[in-house]
Amino acid sequence: MADTHLLDKAALAKAHLLRCMADKRPRPRKLVQGYVYFCGPIDGPIKIGFSKDPRERLYRLQTNRHDRLHLWAETPGTDVDEASYHNRFFRFSIGGEWFARTPEIEAEIARLNAGSA
């Protein structure tokens, strides 16, 4: 009878452990809608970011900067779309979300501004 009681306790402990492990599984993320934006100084690098409010984000980025930042383009999207742009332009990355100003990135900015996004 004692063996059965130990088995029941072990089974309960195992079931509890499995439930805890199941709670640790990655859950699908809810995509947040906002904008992917391109900003930067006149002649400098381009930041490709994501925000619900790109103009507010630009204001916050401008804090403590000596060079004026401009919002070059924005397009509706999610942080997944932002990551897609980062992957597309990865070879131009200069760190984080900042990219060298290249003809390819400038062409994408022009395309977005022309409304053919």
* Order of all β-strands in the sheet with 70-77: 70-77, 34-40, 46-51, 98-99, 93-95
Kindly tell me if the per-residue pLDDT of 21 is higher than 80.
no
Q: What does the block give as tokens for 80?
A: 């997944």
Name the helix (H) or strand (E) containing 73. Answer: strand 70-77
For the entire predicted model, the pTM comes to 0.73
| Secondary structure element (H or E) that encloses residue 93, with its range | strand 93-95
Per-residue pLDDT of 42-70, as tens digits, reads 999 999 999 999 999 999 999 878 899 99
